[in-house]
Amino acid sequence: MPRRRRLRKVVAPPNFKGYRPYGSGRNAVDYVELFYEEYEAIKLADYNLMNHEEASSLMGISRATFARIYESARRKIAQALVGSLEIRAVYGNAVLDKSWYSCLKCHVRFTIPRSLNQEECPVCASKEIELLNK
């Protein structure tokens, strides 16, 4: 039996559902699935410019595992660019590091501390909120 996959911590999920190429002259495009943890790896390493050591500890995985996820993320993006494929963000093996909610009306993301007993958006007071980590 293979070893159980540890869940990778993701601070915030990507803000998009996917990316689609345009101008490639094809309509029905294939897609690659970019996992949340792969998005997070790219974000930490190439956007926040962390080294792999810091990034891996933030995600609660070993440096080697981080490197593997990072590599697969880069390969998927390269595949998508070269083959003009769609990129879809899918959940993968991620766990969001806290209970974050999203407001369906004004799209802010927020936490609800225990002492605060209200299930509404802190900015627009809308009751239409959604839990991000399912």
Measured distance between the N- and C-terminal CA atoms of the chain, rounded to whole angstroms: 27
| Residue 57 burial (C-beta neighbours within 10 Å; 0-12, 13-18, 19+) | middle
The residue ranges of DSSP E strands in the chain, in sequence order, are 8-10, 18-19, 31-35, 86-90, 94-96, 101-103, 109-110, 129-131
Tell me how far, at minimum, the Cβ of 48 lies from another protein, in Å. 9
Tracing tokens 């299930």 back to the chain, one arrives at 119
Among 81, 104, 123, 131, binds another protein (CB under 8 A): 123
Tell me how far, at minimum, the Cβ of 120 lies from another protein, in Å. 7
Tell me how far, at minimum, the Cβ of 52 lies from another protein, in Å. 16
Interface size with another protein, residues (CB under 8 A): 24
The answer to whether 15 contacts another protein (rule: CB under 8 A) is yes
**Which residues within the stretch 44-73 sit at the binding site for another protein (CB under 8 A)?**
58
The answer to whether 98 contacts another protein (rule: CB under 8 A) is yes
Cβ-based nearer residue to another protein, 80 or 101: 101
Tell me how far, at minimum, the Cβ of 77 lies from another protein, in Å. 22
Distance between CA 76 and CA 81 in Å, rounded? 9
